Amino acid sequence: MHNCTLAELSKGLADKAYSSDELTQHFLKRIKQLDSQLNSFITITEEQALAQAKAADQQRANGNSTALTGIPLAHKDIFCTNGVKTSCGSKMLDNFIPPYNATVIEKFNQAGAVSLGKTNMDEFAMGSSNESSFYGPVKNPWSTDCVPGGSSGGSAAAVAAQLAPAATGTDTGGSIRQPAALCGITGLKPTYGRVSRYGIIAFASSLDQAGPMSRTAEDAALMLNVMAGFDHRDSTSSEQAVPDYTAALNDDLSGLTIGLPKEYFGTGLSPAIEQAVQAAIKEYEAMGATIKEISLPNTSLAVPCYYVIAPSEASANLSRFDGVRYGYRCEDPKDLHDLYTRTREEGFGEEVKRRILIGTYALSAGFYDAYYRKAQQIRRLIKNDFVAAFQQVDVIMGPTVPNTAFALGEKSNDPVSMYLEDIYTISTNLAGLPGMSIPAGLVEGKPAGLQITGNYFAESKLLNVAHKFQQATDWHQQFPAQFSTKAED
């Protein structure tokens, strides 16, 4: 069953080939047997999952099911789940049990999906390797000496290792696409505002966006059908109508214009990854697409711009973790100042503290204009680059990440080289555009990702473009050997 896509499982449930209960038990069994090698889950909600599965089977029997009814999923531990610990990968929230669901969770519940548990992540979604988690690093199923990417590394590893058919992630600077690329799965970051942020623990509010992480583009479309939509609890969510994202999956690609930004193929890109991307482009040409070289001239400014804006927002977003109302509180504070400083000193990890400091500095009187205001101006320039590019092309393609998964510990002491992991993904967040990463090859046994960026609210087009590639290739059907054969029933 775990070899099946979400779409296939949905059909299996509809055809009564198996029940959601059986399906859920199967995945719970795999998690129990295999996750000790990966550390992809922080919390496994077995009891709740089985109860949801039984309810889903009932729902299917009653004939009022959706495509997702009875499908087991894993959720990044950044989505608040009513009654279930939501840690955000941090000691600060190790004891936090929200009394409410994130809108995304609510929507999956309404669709009848089953939640297997909460997946590991970089602390407060700050990281590109999953090494900043309070719960320890996640291993890449393709090579357990390597990182799975981050921050949605737990979700990526769980899907790659077939511990869950699909999972949710969030992406602030590449946190869905980069781990999807490193773990060889399909990840979609929707347009900013397409999915409600309510109940997602905020990292950088103007950049955060939730999306699906799955085996195929079709599965991502089924997930996004549930996740997308206006939410009156999130002022920044879009009122734009939500299409059926599966409707255009098979549209013909002849006449499609693909832009290749020259800035994405320069120094720093591994030749093997470039080869994989070029091979993918050839596939698209074969399908009738036209290739056009374009320029996104401000690309080199994206990483520095992001590392001013995201930490600035984070420095305010994380102020609420003060030991007063919930979460970690230091022992025996002697006064208010002591409560604040020790709670935050002890409760936050290194990377989180680094970013709070950067953000606090960038917003300080006397530095605001030089950093925050300047970064906002650059952000506008980066957005304009894309707006101009989409006058000429339908989608933009390139590598998701310059290299394949790196070794655990390799970049832990070099934050800047870690930040450069997101060099191709960050611009998309700054511009608020939708972006995908799909498997496009294997380099020395490790996955390479193709990034597809679309115009605002062009998720259907992205999914169509990704799906057609997956119809023509089988990179998305490759599984890490260590996990694909075990626990088969």
Partner 1 sequence: MEWETVIGLEVHVQLATKTKIFSGSSTAFGAAPNTQANAVDLAMPGTLPVLNEQALRYAIMFGLGIDAQINKRSVFDRKNYFYPDSPKGYQTTQMDYPIVGAGNVEIQLKDGSTKTIRIHHAHLEEDAGKSLHEDFHGCTGIDLNRAGTPLIEIVSEPDMRNAEEAVEFAKKLHAIVTSLGISDGAMSQGSMRFDVNISVRLKGEEEYGTRTETKNLNSFKFMEEAIALEVERQIDILEDGGRIVQETRLYNGDTKTARSMRSKEEANDYRYFPCPDLLPVVIDDSYIEAIRASLPELPASRQARFVENYGLSNYDAGILSADSAMSQYFEVASQVCDDAKLTANWVIGEVSAQLNNTAKEGDGTSFALCPVSAEHLGQLICRIKDNTISGKIAKQVFEAMWNGEGDADTVIADKGLKQVSDTGALEAMVAKVINDNPEQVENYRNADEGKRKKMTGFFVGQIMKASKGQANPGMVNKILMAQLNG
Q: Report the interface residues with partner 1, using CB under 8 A.
A: 79-80, 86, 88, 93, 96, 98-100, 102, 197-202, 204-206, 232-236, 312-313, 315-316, 318-322, 324-326, 336, 340, 360, 363-365, 368, 372
Q: In one letter, which amino acid is 254?
A: S
Residue 86 C-beta: closest distance to partner 1, Å: 7
486: annotated active-site residue? no
Least Cβ distance, residue 190 to partner 1 (angstroms): 17
Catalytic residue among 132, 151, 427, 437: 151
d(CA 404, CA 418): 13
Which of the residues 90, 175, 196, 460 is marked catalytic? 175
Q: Which is nearer to partner 1, 339 or 443 (CB)?
A: 339
Least distance between partner 1 and beta carbon 314 (Å): 11
C-beta closer to partner 1: residue 18 or 340: 340
Q: How many residues does the chain have?
A: 489
For residue 267, the one-letter residue type is T
DSSP state string for 108-133: HHHHT-EEEEEE--SGGG--SSSTT-
Amino acid identity, residue 75?
A: H
H or E element: which one contains 437?
A: strand 435-443
CB of 342 or CB of 446, closer to partner 1: 342
Candidates 40, 76, 118, 437; catalytic one: 76
Q: Which is nearer to partner 1, 37 or 240 (CB)?
A: 240
Q: Is 19 a catalytic residue?
A: no
CB of 232 to partner 1, least distance (A): 7
Dihedral pair phi/psi, residue 259, rounded to 5°: -95, 135
Q: What is the DSSP string of 45-106?
A: -HHHHHHHHHHHHHHHHHT---TTTT-EEEEETTB-BTTB---TT-GGGTT---SS--HHHH
Q: Which tokens is 485 given?
A: 């054969």
Nearest to partner 1 of 88, 182 (CB atom): 88
Toward partner 1, which CB reaches closer, 335 or 489? 335
Nearer to partner 1, 1 or 378 (CB): 378
Torsion of CA 63, 9, 193, 247, to 10 degrees: -80
Let me know if 151 is a catalytic residue: yes
Question: Shortest CA distance to 427 belongs to which of 374, 378, 371?
Answer: 378
Min separation Cβ 55 and partner 1, Å: 25
In angstroms, give the least distance from the CB of 432 to partner 1. 12
In angstroms, what is the minimal distance from the CB of 451 to partner 1? 25
Residue type, 294: I
Assess whether the previous peptide bond of 151 is cis (omega < 30° from 0).
yes
C-alpha separations of 335 from 91, 305, 327, 331, 485 in Å? 22, 38, 18, 11, 57
Active-site residue set: 76, 151, 175
